[in-house]
Amino acid sequence: MVFIVILLAAFLFQLVLPWWISLVISFAICGLIAKTAKIAFWSPFFAICILWIAMALFKSLPNYNILAGRVAEMLSLKAWWMVLLLTGILGGLVAAISGVCGYHFRKAVLLKKTNN
């Protein structure tokens, strides 16, 4: 559930907003509906990783991966697809950390309310 909501929300918002909106979405959704810290980490990771790789492929394939190939050379990578994989993993990792922060933020706020 968390995976699908993050994937759809990030796709829609990233059409019109900057790339970092996926972090805000991960934080908010995991803060609202994630049941465990494990779900709050892996769901945003895979959702954003898949989304960014798919969007990069969508942009890269029509131009025969020319830009991705040049960036791969610049980064001393062997192939253009490594750039796409690196992009997905980095985006997924940042979104996963944001999701865990959202989950723990909710836990801290709930704990504070129950103690008072």
pTM of the model as a whole: 0.92
pLDDT of residue 60: 95
d(CA 107, CA 113): 10
Give the integer Cα–Cα distance in Å for 91 and 46.
10
First to last CA, the chain: 32
For 77, residues 6+ apart whose C-beta sits below 8 A from its C-beta are 83, 86
pLDDT at 111: 74
15-46: pLDDT as tens digits: 999 999 999 999 999 999 999 999 999 999 99
Residue 12 domain boundaries? 2-115
CA dist 12 and 116 (Å) reads: 39
For residue 114, pLDDT over 90 is answered with no
Q: Name the band, by pLDDT with cuts 50, 70 and 90, for residue 116.
A: low
Residue 64 CA to chain centroid, in angstroms? 25
How far is 9 from 5, CA to CA, in rounded Å? 6
Residues 6+ away with beta carbon under 8 Å from 48: 6, 10, 22, 26, 88, 91, 92, 94, 95, 96
**Rounded mean pLDDT of 48-55?**
97
Domain count of the chain? 1
